[in-house]
Amino acid sequence: MLRDLFFTFFKIGLFTFGGGYAMIPLIQREAIEKKKWCSVDEFLNIIAIAESTPGPIAVNSATFIGYKQKGVLGAFFATLGVVLPSFVIILLISLFLVQFKDNTIVANAFQGVRIAVAILVLGAGLKLMRKLKKHWLTIVLIIAGFILMLFHWLPTIFVILIGGIIGIMYQTIVTWIEVAKRG
């Protein structure tokens, strides 16, 4: 199982360009759909926690999933697997970057990769959004959070914290109303 965690996240780290957000669709496919290491709801919670804690979202996600599967060793091997390819690739690129930094072919290739990454991230977001419970508050929070982050009116961490606080407040009020109706 430790080997499986390492190689699964190594593959994700090796074949994903564009950073942590670009890894979300691959983690989703591997951890939920193929390996069944977590449910969609658990994955949404992992993403929320990983986004609200320091560090890259893919590393945090790998750590959480690894820990859930095999404790501290699972967290270590999943994290090592997702980080190692990037480390090696960056090391190799840094050795040759000076030679290729002004090459228009390389610059155009990176532009194409950025577009593909944006599409992957958008696709993963839409796929996860479809799995959310359909509720008016969910829709309002998605729209408000999107607008706040799109126009950079609030840092991401504040959008997450405010969404969490609103969710807690809403559920508390609903619970109080249900208790009042019974009593």
pLDDT confidence band for 18 (50 / 70 / 90): low
pLDDT at 17 exceeding the cut of 70: no
C-alpha span between 170 and 101 (Å, rounded): 52
HSE-CB for 87 with a 13 A CA cutoff: 8
> Residue 173 has what pLDDT?
92
DSSP secondary structure code for residue 133 in this structure = -
DSSP secondary structure code for residue 38 in this structure = S
Q: What does the pLDDT average to over 136-154?
A: 87
Q: Which residue has the tokens 């690129």?
A: 93
Residue type, 116: A
Q: Is the dihedral of CA 100, 105, 111, 115 positive or negative?
A: negative
> Residue 19 has what pLDDT?
65
- In a 3-state reduction of DSSP, which class is residue 157? helix
C-alpha span between 157 and 94 (Å, rounded): 31
Q: Residue ranges per domain, the chain?
A: 2-132, 133-183
List the structure tokens of 109: 């290739």
Q: What does the pLDDT average to over 139-146?
A: 88
pLDDT at 71 exceeding the cut of 70: yes
Q: Is the dihedral of CA 121, 157, 90, 58 positive or negative?
A: negative
pTM exceeds 0.85 for this model: no
C-alpha span between 57 and 157 (Å, rounded): 13
pLDDT at 66 exceeding the cut of 80: yes
Q: How far is CA 97 from the centre of its chain?
A: 28
List the structure tokens of 3: 């080997």
